[in-house]
Amino acid sequence: MGLFDQILGAIDNSSQQGSTSQIGNILNTVQQLSNSTGTDPSTMQSALGIVGNYVRSALQEKRATEGDEAAQDVVNQFGEPSPNPQAVDSLFSPFLQQQVAETVAQRTGLNAGTIQQLLPVLVPLVLNLLKSGANAQNPQTGGNPVLNSFLDADGDGDVDITDAMQMASRYLGR
pLDDT digits (tens, 9 = 90+) for 25-47: 998 999 999 999 999 999 999 99
Kindly tell me if the per-residue pLDDT of 79 is higher than 60. yes
Residue bearing the bigger pLDDT, 2 or 21: 21
**Residue 109: per-residue pLDDT:** 94
pLDDT digits (tens, 9 = 90+) for 104-115: 999 999 999 999
Angle (CA) 2 150 65, round 5°: 150
Q: Are 59 and 71 in contact (CB under 8 A)?
A: yes
Question: Which has the higher per-residue pLDDT, 146 or 111?
Answer: 111
Give the whole-angstrom CA distance, residue 112 versus residue 103.
8
pLDDT of residue 15: 86
The pTM of this model reads 0.86
Q: How does residue 89 score in pLDDT terms, banded at 50, 70 and 90?
A: very high
The region, left, alpha or beta by phi > 0 then psi within -120 to 50, assigned to residue 60 is: alpha
- Taking residues 134-145, report their average pLDDT: 78
**Confidence label for 167 from pLDDT (cuts 50, 70 and 90):** low
